[in-house]
Amino acid sequence: MTSGGVREASLHVVDGRIERVAPFDDGPSSVPLVDAGDRVVMPGLVDTHVHVNEPGRTEWEGFETATRAAAAGGVTTILDMPLNSIPPTTTIAALSAKRAAADGKVHVDVGLWGGAVPGDLGQLRELHRAGVYGFKAFLCPSGVEEFPPLDLGQLRSAMEEIAAFDGLLIVHAELPEFLRDMAWTLDVADDVPYRYRTYLDSRPPESEKRAVESVVEASRSTGCRAHVLHLSAASCAHLLGGVTAETCPHYLTFAAEEITDGATEFKCAPPIREAENRERLWEELRAGRIAGVVSDHSPCTADLKAGSFFDAWGGIASVQLGLRAVWTQARARGFGLEDVARWMSEGPAAIAGLERKGSIAVGMDADLVMFEPDAVSEVDPTELHHRNPVTPYADLRLDGRVAATYVRGVRVYADGRFRDEPAGRLLSRGAA
C-alpha cells in the first residue's frame, strides 16, 4: 500500500528505513527476503491515544502488555496519555519516571504526551523542550483527582503559553455545566443507574458542541494549534475550522440502541451515541472533516468495570482490535484499505508530528503490517494481550487478520507469537 494505491511492489529496507519502493521482481539475492504472498502490506498503525497507566496504576495496564496488544493489532507506534499514571506526566520528574518505567519493555515505538493542568500552567515550555509531543487538557473532570480540568480562562492561558513555542494542545472537549450528575439516580428506582440510556442522557451532545466551540474560538484568538480528542457527537464536526479532530473505533462500530442495560463494558466518555450519529461520523470521515481514528485504549481492572453506570470506570480497551473493527465497518460502507490507512496511520502521525511514521514511502521508518483483509473470526477475550481483557467486542465477528507486524524492519509479532526481546523504542519529539 503506497501513496499511489495498492499494487505489487518490493520494499528495500536498510537500517530500519525504507530505502526504495521498487517493482515486485526487484529483489536482490544477497539479502534476506520476506514474501508477503497475498497479504496486504500496510503502514503500521499510529495510535496517538493510549492510556498505559504505568507507573502508579500498573495493575490496570503496563507498557509490556499494552505494547504487546498494540503489536498484535498492527499498531507500530503509540503515544501514551499523561493520565492515569501516578504521577501524571505534568512535570519533568514525572516524565523521567514514565520513561524509566517504559525502558526495555516496549514492543512497539512509544512517545509521550504531557499534561496541562491548572497547577502547572506557566511551566509547559520545559516539558516541551524535554520531548513530549503536546499537552492534554480536560474541560470536565478527568475521573482521577491528580489530573484536574482547566476552566475556560485557564484554557486560554494554556493556549497562549503553548502558542509561544508552537506546541500542540489536545483537548477532552465536554463542558461540565452541560453534564448531568448521575448521583441523582441513587435516589430513584434501583435499576435506573444500570440503564445505558441514563448514562447517555448524562453526557448530551450539547456538552461536546459547546466545548468544541470554546476550543475553536480560543485556538483562533491565540494562534495555538489544537486538536479535539475522541469526537463522539457528529454534529460537532462542521464546527472544527482549523482545529483537527479524531474519533474512535467504538463510536464507528456500536450504537446506543444496541447496548443492553448493565453492559458497563461499553461505558466511555464521551458516550457511544445512537446509530444515526454513528452513520454521520462515517460521513464526516468521508468528507475529510475528521482527521484520524485512534483507540482511546483506557483499560482498568475487571472489578472497576463492574457495577452500575454510575460506579463503573469509563474506558474501552481496544488497541489490539481497532484495525479489524474499523475495517469491518469501513468495507461495509464502500471504503477501501487505503482509507483505513489514511485514518489510522497517516492522519494520526500528521497530527502528532511523527514525520517518519504513517506511510510506506522512501525515507520512512519500515513500520509495516501484513494484513489479511478477507479473514473473519470472532473476538475471543482470552486471546487479547492487554492486561485486563474486558471488552465490548467479545464474541463480535470482525473482518481481517494481522498476520505479522514489523517495527523499523524488525518483526515483532507473527501468527500469535512475539519477538523474545522487545524491539520498540522510546520516542522524543524533535529527536532524530
* pLDDT tens per residue across span 344-389: 999 999 999 999 999 999 999 999 999 999 999 999 999 999 999 8
From edge to edge, which strands make up the β-sheet containing 114-115? 114-115, 135-138, 168-172, 225-228, 244-247, 292-293
Q: Could you give the maximum distance between any two Cα atoms of the chain, in Å?
A: 74
Q: How far is it, in rounded angstroms, from Cα 126 to Cα 236? A: 33
Query: In the prediction, which pLDDT does 30 show?
Result: 83
| Residue pLDDT, tens place only, 120-129 | 999 999 999 9
Q: Does 427 have pLDDT greater than 70?
A: yes
Q: Residue 228: CB partners within 8 Å, gap ≥ 6?
A: 170, 171, 173, 212, 215, 236, 240, 243, 244, 245, 246
Res. 137 pLDDT band, cuts 50 70 90: very high
Task: Give the model's pLDDT for residue 190.
Answer: 72
Rounded distance, CA 66 to CA 385, Å?
7
Q: Which residues of 389-409 are buried (b: 16+ CB within 10 A; e: fewer)?
A: bbbbbeebebbbbbbbbbbbb
pLDDT over 90 at 415, yes or no: yes
> Could you give the percent of the chain with pLDDT greater than 70?
98
Q: Report helix, strand or coil for 295.
A: coil
pLDDT higher than 80, residue 183: no
What is the CATH code of the structural domain delimited by 37-418? 3.20.20.140
Contacts of 23 (CB under 8 A, 6+ apart): 8, 9, 10
pLDDT tens for 85-101 read 999 999 999 999 999 99
Q: Does residue 184 carry a pLDDT above 80?
A: no
How sure is the predictor about 5, in pLDDT bands with cuts at 50, 70 and 90? confident
CB contact at 8 A, 350 and 27: no
pLDDT(186) > 70: no
Name 401's bridge partners.
372
Q: 191 pLDDT exceeds 90? A: no
Strand order in the sheet with 109-112: 45-50, 75-80, 109-112
pTM of the predicted protein model: 0.97
Instruction: Give the per-residue pLDDT at 189.
Output: 65
Q: What confidence category does residue 78 fall into, taking pLDDT thresholds of 50, 70 and 90?
A: very high
